[in-house]
Amino acid sequence: MKKSTSTTDKSFKPSFFFRNTHFQSIMASSRLRLHYNNIMARKARKMVVKTSAGSRLLSFYSAHPSSRGVIILIHGWEGSSSSSYMLSTGDFFYRLGFSVCRLNLRDHGDSHHLNEELFHGALLHETFEAVNHLSCLSGDAPVYLLGFSLGGNFALRIAMQHARKPIANLKHVFAVSPPLDPYKSTLAIDNGYALYRVYFLKKWKRSLIKKQHLFPDKYDFRDMLKSKTCLELTEKIMPYYHDMATYRDYFNTYTLKNDAFQNLNIPVRIFIAKDDPVIPQEDYQHLQENDFFKISRQRFGGHCGFIDLFPVRCWYNQVIADIIT
């Protein structure tokens, strides 16, 4: 496995008609990008990973019969193992000969019943343990971690934790459109194009309703479900996050700054678009690359998009494949 170099990736240059940031962001989760015959999904088996603290995380493992390694995927906020970008990316790498594991964060996908406590972005320890457990299933094969949006933020923090507590066979970490400052990203969702605020609020509220139905003696979200913005709902849900006094304290637990990337010991690469509608570019202006940390900054791509049509193809999939093969 060679270390990532400082050479510039081939730029993402979609067809003129598909460069719009909202088109790219919407296409990231569109079923139009899925292959009609998803071999990876058909080969998947359900797994529940139990951590040392007793929490349980749902995953789906697709073992390749002649595996070249394992790709572990982590979805974004209110996404799941069944999100289009997870299915599409998983199938792409499965067809290249990799085993694929799609890990659900707590309370994502069909996993709300597995844990009584709520999900939040600071739950790094259980996610790290789950990734470590899944990596051990590969034997001596190399393991690669790829996260999208909030899952990308988790992937970056796992890479930082790996420097102190190594994960077996982890060779490279990739993050697509990861937020560095979740407070600023929340404001961008609330104050930007209304479609994103409506989309995330609807999915978050649906998740909370499901959790309340499963644990009615513990949760009563009726008042906070009236919230009109993501920040308002975050502020109202804070009493359920016992270790954090305010929503700013909460956001600070997974805010990433430049110094956090200076002690890495495995290659880490971020893919970010300058036209990302929910990730403020100012957060990336002061990040400094080093021997292990690289940033692919693209003019187009939206949020987790980087898709061109006719034929449908995802740019970062091919870049990652070139790096790890």
Domain ranges across the chain: 16-181+256-324
Pick from 184, 160, 183: nearest CA to 170 = 160
Mean pLDDT, residues 294-309? 95
Instruction: Report d(CA 71, CA 99) in Å as an integer.
Output: 6
pTM: 0.95
The answer to whether 75 touches 203, Cβ cutoff 8 Å, is no
Q: Is the pLDDT of residue 2 over 80?
A: no
Average pLDDT value over all residues in the chain: 94
Per CATH, which fold does 16-181+256-324 belong to? Rossmann fold (3.40.50)
For the stretch 17-58, pLDDT in tens is 899 999 999 999 998 888 889 999 999 999 999 999 999 999
Q: Is the pLDDT of residue 9 over 80?
A: no
Q: How confident is the model at residue 34, as a pLDDT?
A: 87
For the stretch 184-222, pLDDT in tens is 999 999 999 999 999 999 999 999 999 999 999 999 999
Mean pLDDT, residues 240-260? 94
Mean pLDDT, residues 8-12? 73
Q: Is the pLDDT of residue 69 over 80?
A: yes
Q: Is the pLDDT of residue 103 over 80?
A: yes
How sure is the predictor about 87, in pLDDT bands with cuts at 50, 70 and 90? very high
Instruction: Report d(CA 251, CA 268) in Å as an integer.
Output: 23
Residues 6+ apart with CB under 8 A from 20: 302
